[in-house]
Every structure is written in C-alpha cells, then in structure tokens.
Amino acid sequence: MTESVKSACLPCGIGHFSTSSALLNEAMRFKKDGLATPQVLDDIAQAIGEQNALERIDLTPAKIELLPDWEKELANLALEKSRELRHNLESVQNMNDLEEIAIDTEEFYKQLNRDWSVKRLEKCPTCQINTDENIEEAELEAENTIEKPIKEAKVKVETPKNKLSDYGRKASEARQKLWNDIHEARNPKN
C-alpha cells in the first residue's frame, strides 16, 4: 500500500540547511589540519547527505507542486540552493573554498528561515505578528483598555502594612510617585 504525502516539508528543508551549516562550521574548526583530514571529510560527507535528503525526500517536484504558491517559491529556491551547495561540496578544492561555502550556507539558512517564518505568520489567521496593521490595532486596543480607565480613576498604590526594608519602602514610594505623576499628566487640574 502506498501512502500519499500531502505536501513537501519546507521546515524540514530548513532543518537540513541548519544541519549542513553546523557541519560546515564544525569542519572549519579543523582548518589548520587541512581538507583531507577525516573530521573535515566526514563533515562534508554528512552535509552532502543532508542536502541529498532535502532534494530527494522533502522537496521533490511532486511534493512541491502541492504547496501553496508562497511556500512553493521558497521551496524551489531552497531546492536550487541545495543543488548548488551539494555540487560545491562535491568539488571543493581547499579550506578557503570550504570556508566560503560555510559562510554562504549559514547566510542562506538564516534568510530562508526568516523568510519562511514571516510569510507563515502573515498567512496564519490566528497568529499575531507585528505588521503595521497589527500595531495600529494593538495601539487602539491599549488606548481603550488601559489609558481611558487610568484617566478616569486615580490609582493608589498601597504600601504593605508589614515592615519593609529600606529598599522595599523606597520601591513602594517610587511606584506611588509614578502612579501620581501618570494621573496628574493625564488629568491636569487646569
């Protein structure tokens, strides 16, 4: 029995880039030892394996086709960059080239993650992100739920009746002064 996969997994692809980036950064710790050392070669091989998994399992053309358009664009970009990374790793000649590949991989991984996260949140009907529209709504809500009651009522911060340390007493007095200043600023006597 074959099970149909409903969609590609772009977050999985981001995870593969994250792992490849970490592996290549780890390989760079051995820069002085050279490209042909077992640790560096193993890290490169594992990074190639990560990108193979991304291309052949998570972001196949059939799976990408089922994604929403906004995600499809990012998936195709990730797939293209993965192939480029894999080919570069398969033909790397020296540690300086590997360092450039490591830097490029980390930068791409971070940007892909940011782009996907922001677009996912923008498309989410229940998520709240700081778009201009959401900020305006939050400011209006704050004005209606916080500022109006403060204008209408004088708040008295009660000092606890038990003995306070000097620090506690000063903190309570400072809170009371702050509340009084806010109230006076919002309700001038003139």
pLDDT above 90: residue 179: no
Distance CA 59, CA 53 (A): 9
Are 141 and 149 in contact by the 8 Å Cβ rule? The answer is no
Shared domain check, 52 and 119: yes
> Is the Cα dihedral 169, 171, 175, 178 positive or negative?
positive
Residues 45 and 115 in one domain: yes
Q: Which domain holds residue 154?
A: 132-186
Q: What percent of the chain has pLDDT over 70?
A: 72
Distances (CA, A) of 89 to 81, 82, 133: 12, 10, 44
Q: Is the dihedral of CA 102, 108, 111, 115 positive or negative?
A: negative
- 158 vs 51, higher pLDDT: 51
> Looking at the structure, do residues 118 and 146 belong to the same domain, yes or no?
no
State pLDDT tens for residues 81-137. 999 999 999 999 999 999 999 999 999 999 999 999 998 888 877 776 665 555 566
Distance CA 41, CA 177 (A): 66
Are both 117 and 154 inside the same structural domain? no
Tokens 């003995």 belong to 163
Looking at per-residue pLDDT, the higher value among 182 and 89 belongs to 89
Q: Is 3 within a domain? A: no
Q: Is residue 80 part of a domain?
A: yes
Residue 15 belongs to some domain of the structure: yes
What is the structure's pLDDT at 1? Answer: 40
94 C-beta neighbours (distance < 10 Å), count: 9
Residues 31 and 90 grouped into a single domain:
yes
Section 130-150 average pLDDT: 59
Inform me whether the pLDDT recorded for 22 exceeds 70.
Answer: yes
Residues 48, 54 contacting (CB under 8 angstroms) = no
At residue 42, the pLDDT reads 97
Query: CATH number of the domain that 113 lies in?
Result: 1.20.120
What pLDDT was estimated at residue 31?
95
Percent of the chain at pLDDT above 90? 52
Separation of alpha carbons 108 and 135, rounded Å: 29
Q: How confident is the prediction for the chain on average, in pLDDT?
A: 82
25 and 92 fall within a common domain: yes
